Amino acid sequence: MLRYILRRIMQFIPVFFGVTLLLFLITTILPGDPVALRAGEKKLPPAVYAEMRHAYGLDKPWYAQYVDYLGKLSKGDLGTSIASGRKVVDIFKETYPYTLRLALAAIVLEILVGIGAGLVSAIKQYTIWDTLVTLSTSILVALPVFWLGIVLQYIFGIQLNILPISGASSARFTAFAHLILPAITLASVSTAYAARIMRSQLLEVQSQDYVRTAYAKGLSPSRVLWGHEMKNALIPVVTFIGLDLGAMLSGAILTETIFNWPGVGFTIYRAIGARDFPVVFGGVTLVLLAVLFVNLLVDVSYAFLDPRIRYGAANEG
Amino acid sequence: MTRDKDIVIDRAEGHAVKDYRSGMPSTPPTQPEEQHAADENRTLWGDAWYRLRKNRLAIIALVWLVIVAIAAITADAWVPQTFGSPTYFDTAKVAAQRLQSPSLEHPMGTDDIGRDVFARVVYGSRISLTVGILAVVVSLVIGLILGSLSAFYGGFIDAFIMRVADIFLAFPYILFAILLLSVLPENLRGIAPVFLTIGILGWPSIARVFRSSVLSVKENDYVEAGRALGAGDIRLMLRHILPNAVAPIVVYGTMSVGGAILTEAALSFLGLGLPPGSPSWGGMIQDGRNYLTSNPGVVIWPGLAILSTVLAFTLLGDGIRDALDVKLKD
């Protein structure tokens, strides 16, 4: 088991370097000058301009900047924002809890509604419930997320005027109210996928020999469902939800932008617009580490739940 | 000569010839209606078309896509004449023409500067279909080449290509697209960079699907036989492996068009897709956001257009999957 985990970690190292390097290559050709942008309308004196570029290391070639960045990263330093002068680590310390809060709310919805709908759909196969679930998941998957967010804002925020449509709040009750619409928007597509996977897995498991054996030895249908079928059918669903949590931690740019949610995605998106490289790099590095960490967690738990993965992976090379 | 004779004999046997020629596992003739169909001696694709025709949802989807495509192609001939230009507006008349409710003249109302929403939705289908299809073509070209290299040669090449695919998949997709597109100078914006970006980001999934399907085809006896008869790598790949590994790609490609349309809409919504003012569905939703209370149609209709088109590609993909009997992971 330990060897498996180590092997997975080793595989992430080239991915990490690959992505950060790629990011560097893209941003070095980005047009726009962050120092000039910060100065705004005023023209900076050439000496001050050169000094500022030097202070942020922008006068060095890109590979030197990349080495600098890796060196700082190893000490836990992500640099300083060019636009605001604040430490990048501090900026994300502030925004990550919001992203985390939104992601967890969406995951809870995904588990409750997704697994629930998939379960109902599989148990009541070929009934109106099954058709309803299948149809609504198809529609949800084809729905543009940002459109759903705007329509929800319109209905619940403007027409009915019962829910806040912008920003986040820290007071206990209003925090929850602010969370509802963004969480539904963010969870919509994944909930549909979770329901589909749950349904197809359960249907597949139902025709397995061990399920027939369980019935044959006289277990009640609910015992078979919860004790035998669900146990196995849930594995791929758990994997999917885990990977999805990883994806959500990378900040939901669309959802966060629509609802002005002060999370990671929104921050990175604004930083790209301002050509604030340190914030972009720092944000993407954190996002990448979070995604890789969650993926690793999913892989390991999967290998833990299903021994075939462990042994199979060892042979595959 | 003898070979021709074999085929004639096979034809006489009716059903068996289909399985023999397509290399698909034999399916026993179950229903009497299929028995009749089998006598007609169709190819794998003919068979698939026959099964697809019986899938009502897939046919509705196909009909819808054909309608959208015809509207997109013929738009110049009837839309501007009847409903007005999708892009032009008369500054002097904006105040009188803006944000009208639906009427006979403007079936979906007008937007904030007086342009007809219906005309813009129709012209939007041009952008969406072009970007969606071309993006998938780009992904297919890159994905098929890299996927087949990976599966065919294995070893170091395989490991390298798959690690690069990992790199692309690990990076948050939309963030990557935003970064790539914001590199672009303002005057170069248009359809090409958008579909190229979406296409480039889409290759890893295609490469993976194709790699696994080549790997499973590669083990077949007829490939071994081809090799034994002295066929080279390229000939083996093009004549024996590719035709038999292509079904999953057709299914995946159809579904991917919908995904590419969604991505284009999201990018245009964020202001990074098509230039401002162009009738892109995503851009229309962004432009109309602030005018929802005056004419909700400016946001609702483009959204429904995206939804129905993407849904149609998904349902059609589902139908083709069932018709070709392809197993894809969900």
Q: B199-254, pLDDT tens digit by residue?
A: 998 888 889 888 888 888 888 888 888 888 888 888 888 888 888 778 888 888 99
Average pLDDT of the residues in B95-102: 71
ipTM confidence score: 0.81
- Pairwise CB contact (< 8 Å): B180 & A273: no
Q: Report the C-alpha gap between A92 and B66 in whole angstroms.
A: 48
Percentage of chain A exceeding pLDDT 70:
88
Contacts of B306 in chain A (CB under 8 A): 142, 144, 147
Pick from A138, A197, A265: CB nearest B311: A138
- Pairwise CB contact (< 8 Å): B314 & A142: yes
pLDDT digits (tens, 9 = 90+) for A262-301: 888 888 888 887 778 788 888 888 887 887 788 778 777 7
Q: Does A288 touch chain B (CB under 8 A)?
A: yes
Compute the nearest-CA separation of A149 from chain B (Å).
Answer: 11
Q: Does A27 touch chain B (CB under 8 A)?
A: yes
- Pairwise CB contact (< 8 Å): A154 & B185: no
pLDDT score, position A34: 64
C-alpha triplet A213, A216, A222: angle, nearest 5°: 85
pLDDT digits (tens, 9 = 90+) for A196-237: 999 988 888 888 888 888 888 888 888 888 878 888 888 888
Pick from A11, A142, A150: CB nearest B258: A142
Q: Does B171 touch chain A (CB under 8 A)?
A: yes
- Pairwise CB contact (< 8 Å): B315 & A138: yes
Compute the nearest-CA separation of A220 from chain B (Å).
Answer: 31
Compute the nearest-CA separation of B259 from chain A (Å).
Answer: 8
Compute the nearest-CA separation of B262 from chain A (Å).
Answer: 6
Query: Under CATH, to which class is A88-316 assigned?
Result: mainly alpha
Pair B47, B54: CB distance under 8 Å: no
Q: Work out the mean pLDDT of chain A and round it to a whole number.
A: 81
Per-domain residue ranges of chain A: 2-74, 88-316
Q: Work out the mean pLDDT of chain B and round it to a whole number.
A: 78
pLDDT score, position A316: 42
Comparing B120 with A40, which gets the higher pLDDT? B120
* Position B258 confidence tier, pLDDT thresholds 50, 70, 90: very high
Pick from B175, B269, B302: CB nearest A268: B175
- Pairwise CB contact (< 8 Å): A26 & B310: no
Token pair 């990011």 is at which residue?
A23
Neighbours of B3 (CB within 10 A): 7
Exposure string of A269-293, with b = 16+ CB inside 10 Å and e = fewer, is bebbbbbbbbbbbbbbbbbbebbbe
Contacts of B321 by beta carbon, 8 Å cutoff, 6+ apart = B251, B328
Comparing A150 with A41, which gets the higher pLDDT? A150
Contacts across the A-B interface (CB distance below 8 Å): 113
pLDDT digits (tens, 9 = 90+) for B4-17: 333 333 333 333 33
Percentage of chain B exceeding pLDDT 70:
82
Find the closest chain B residue to A31 by CA distance: B183
* Position A308 confidence tier, pLDDT thresholds 50, 70, 90: low
Average pLDDT of the residues in A80-87: 82
